[in-house]
Structure 1
Amino acid sequence: MIVRIMGEGQWKLADSTFVELNALDDELLEELEGGDEAGFRRTLHALLDKVRERGEPLPDDALEPSELILPAFDASLDEVRAMLSDDGLIPG
């Protein structure tokens, strides 16, 4: 799976990482719905850190289609809300 973090680049992750990312996405969605800014910030950073830790960065000149696009680390609650589907940032 290819994941893009807006403003940073792309990482290639094993499909097995999806379960971990989805759990963090569920937590993020709850915090967004509850207006928990501190929890939202903490979970967003954990989600992005997990991508960076578990993924292999692609070269800057790689033009791979991203299967998942995540917000930048400094995205606001409103910016992330605009990116959400019914399932959160990560479908499924």
Structure 2
Amino acid sequence: MIVRIMGEGQVRLADSHLTELDRLDDELQAEMENGDGPGFRRTLTALLAKVRELGTPLPDDSLEPSELILPAEDATLEDVRELLSDDGLIPGGT
């Protein structure tokens, strides 16, 4: 799976990591629903760090279609609300 982090680039991520990322996505969604700004910031940072850790960066000149687009680390709670689907940032989760 190709994941784009807005403002950073793309990484290739094995589908087997989606369960781990989905847990963070669920936390992020709950924090957003509760208006928990500090929790939102902490979890978004953790989610993006995990994608960077588990993924393999693609070259900057690569133009692969992204299957998942995540917000930049400095995105606001309002910015991320606009990106959310009913499933959170990572579709198909719990």
Indicate the TM-score class for this superposition, using the shorter chain for normalisation.
over 0.9
Specify the alignment match of 2:77 in structure 1: 77
2:21 matches 1:15: no
User: TM-score, normalised on structure 2?
Assistant: 0.97
User: TM-score, normalised on structure 1?
Assistant: 0.99
Q: Percent identity?
A: 74
Residue 82 of structure 1 aligns to a residue in which SS? helix
In structure 1, give the amino acid aligned to 2:91: P
Aligned mates of 1:46, 1:26 — CA distance in 2? 12
Specify the alignment match of 2:88 in structure 1: 88
In structure 2, give the amino acid aligned to 1:4: R
**How many residues were matched structurally?**
92
Residue 22 of structure 1 aligns to a residue in which SS? helix
In structure 2, give the amino acid aligned to 1:29: Q
Give the alignment of 1:18-33 within 5 angstroms. 18-33=18-33
Runs of 4+, deviation exceeding 3 Å: none
Aligned mates of 2:27, 2:65 — CA distance in 1? 26
